[in-house]
Amino acid sequence: MYQLMKKYLFTLDPEVAHERTVHALQLAQSTPGGTSMLRMMYGFQDQRLNNTLWGIPFANPVGLAAGFDKNAEVYHGLGAIGFGFVEIGTLTPLAQPGNDKPRLFRSVPDQAVINRMGFNNQGVESAARRLQNYQQAGIPIGVNIGKNKVTPNEEAASDYEKCLDALYPYGHYFVINVSSPNTPNLRDLQETESLRQLLRAIRAKADALEKNGAKAKPILLKVAPDMADEHMRDVVQVAVAEGMSGIIATNTTLSREGLSNRTFAEQTGGLSGRQLTARSTAWVREIYQEVGRQVPIIGVGGIFNGDDAYEKIRAGASLIQVYTGMIYEGPGVVQAINRRLLERLKQDGFTTIQEAIGADHR
């Protein structure tokens, strides 16, 4: 079914195709029996894929990365197609339109996407209203937060604090996004001392909210794949030292290595897709060696099938996320990945997914 839909969707501008897909999911989740139908078509359960992190149960390790459900509009429908968890956002304190269009591009021969969306979203207040019943989704919901484009880096901490103020009652975990390449100077916040001060302020805000009665939530840091080795080690060590509960590796890349479509490669923005597979897996492996025994890692980047996912899990990822892989493979990719994971577990003599995490290091 998706292959027929894909032929149509790929005739459209990529952002229009995305909007129509979101609209279709909105229709499905608002129609009586719609989510049940999605579960019947795409759902898949097997206790060997269960895991619990930060006290949160995950039915399977396959999540949807931030960027698809920016405004928390369709996470119920996404849960129905089998995702083990969904990350909404990136959200900013104030609504903002993002960068000028066109800002989303695909290259089918490369199985790649370039985006320069620029944190287009409706703001935290709008998302908070839609997250009122987040528990009913039946899966963990992550909340990815960032700063507004007009906020100078010197005041960035205030934006992240405002996001926590508005959204902390909702969602199961939070993600600090300082690694998108599409907000000017945002990645400068990954410089060691800037990051230390930012994360310290964010942790202090979360602690204050919890002292006032809010339920404690894990806070993760999402990192870019384009840092030098030594810088990445500094970043993840700072994250752990300042109380972050996990690392998401990685965001999109500015590299154009491996692309065959030169016109596509000339577009500015972050690249995701097949060219990121090996790079992000290598970073998962490096980060696991550095801090992976202290905090969990979510591996993301270039996952199209169960073998891609399993490589990241063996490299040290406790969970994985897809996005571009779903664009090219369709919603059935979640079930396909989970089925292949079970095959790979059996081949390696593992009885549960937990046993495979970090297996390459043993």
CB atoms within 10 A of CB 212: 8
Q: How far is CA 265 from CA 13, 276, 315, 350, in A?
A: 17, 14, 29, 41
Cβ atoms 272, 112 nearer than 8 A:
yes
Contact 297, 316 (CB under 8 A): yes
Pairing of strands 297-300, 246-249: parallel
Which distant-in-sequence residues (6+ apart) come within 8 Å of 253 by Cβ?
181, 224, 225, 226, 270, 271, 272, 275, 276, 279
DSSP 8-state code for residue 121: B
Instruction: Look up 180 and say whether it is catalytic.
Output: yes
- Contact predicate 66/248, CB 8 Å: no
224-227 long-range contacts (CB < 8 A, ≥24 apart) are 224/179, 224/181, 224/187, 224/190, 224/250, 224/251, 224/253, 225/249, 225/250, 225/251, 225/252, 225/253, 225/255, 225/276, 225/279, 225/280, 225/283, 225/301, 226/181, 226/253, 226/254, 226/255, 227/190
3 state DSSP class of 109 = coil
Q: How are strands ordered across the β-sheet holding 270-273? A: 104-107, 112-115, 270-273
Q: Exposure string (b/e) for 136-166, b if CB count within 10 Å is 16 or more?
A: ebebbbbbbbbbbbebebeebbebbbbbbbb
Catalytic pick from 30, 107, 158, 180? Answer: 180
Question: Strands, E, within 238-314: which ranges?
Answer: 246-249, 270-273, 297-300
* Catalytic residue IDs: 180
